[in-house]
Amino acid sequence: MKNLKNEYSKILNEYKISEGSIFSTIVPESEWRKQKKAEQFLEKYWLSKQVYEKHWKPIQDTMFIQQEKGLPYLKFSKKYEMLALRGGVLFEEKDFLQLQNCMKLVGDKYFVIIENDVENKSKPLIRVKFPVDISWQELMSGGVISIAIVEYDMNEYFVFGDSGAWGKYAANDYIHALDIVGFKKEYSTLFREVFKVPLEESAEISEWVPKGYFD
């Protein structure tokens, strides 16, 4: 427990609340200013470095290639089909519930959110693990930490489940913010139907995707 606290205390220090440094359209200010909420959230959901490297990093490494570079170099391995969605933040409630439905259907029990340090900023990186059936309200219950995970438009994240059937890369800090979703071919119909976008929006997103990205 002490080692875990040593890990996530760096996150708490990184996201200490100062005037004007945090803003949320989801979490009321009265809630995200409660630093104790952030600590309790990380105590419950923090993914230790040891467990991450033993159980989750191998899944991540088989899924993503050139992952340390971010877009336009980062892609899913050949085992996965990809689609691009408009990004900007990690989740909005509707997006999360759609993805949660997919996770349940492919048989995930847990999923993780792993921050990617694409610019070598040398800041502590967020690593958290959640049960697939977590509610949106619980996901947003961590005060400033929930805001940092879900609403920061500068952090980039890997999201994937224990099945290894799918993954998402939130390229929030790319030229045009994109979500790249990858999935094994047997789940193509599911993900393409759940994350279908209108033709006009799809055409705009296609212009934002790096040239030749899906080749």
**203 is a domain residue:** yes
Place of tokens 């971010």: 70
CB atoms within 10 A of CB 53: 10
**169 is a domain residue:** yes
**174 is a domain residue:** yes
Q: Is the pLDDT of residue 16 over 90?
A: no
pLDDT in tens, 176-187: 999 999 999 999
Q: What is the pLDDT of residue 20?
A: 45
**213 is a domain residue:** no
- pTM equals 0.92
**215 is a domain residue:** no
Domain with 69 in it: 2-208
**93 is a domain residue:** yes
Identify which has the larger pLDDT, 114 or 8.
114
Mean of pLDDT values over 149-176? 93
**214 is a domain residue:** no
- Would strands 178-184 and 166-171 be described as parallel, antiparallel, or unpaired? antiparallel
Nearest partner of 114 among 80, 77, 68, judged by Cα: 68
DSSP-assigned beta bridge partners for residue 81? 183
Separation CA 95–CA 145 (nearest Å): 19
Question: Is 92 within 8 Å of 77 (Cβ atoms)?
Answer: no
Helix (H, G, I), strand (E, B) or coil at 184: strand
**194 is a domain residue:** yes
For 151, residues 6+ apart whose C-beta sits below 8 A from its C-beta are 24, 25, 26, 89, 90
Mean pLDDT estimate for the chain: 89
Q: How many domains does the chain have?
A: 1
**Cα 174 to Cα 73, 154, 197, distances in angstroms:** 11, 9, 20
Question: Is 148 within 8 Å of 47 (Cβ atoms)?
Answer: no
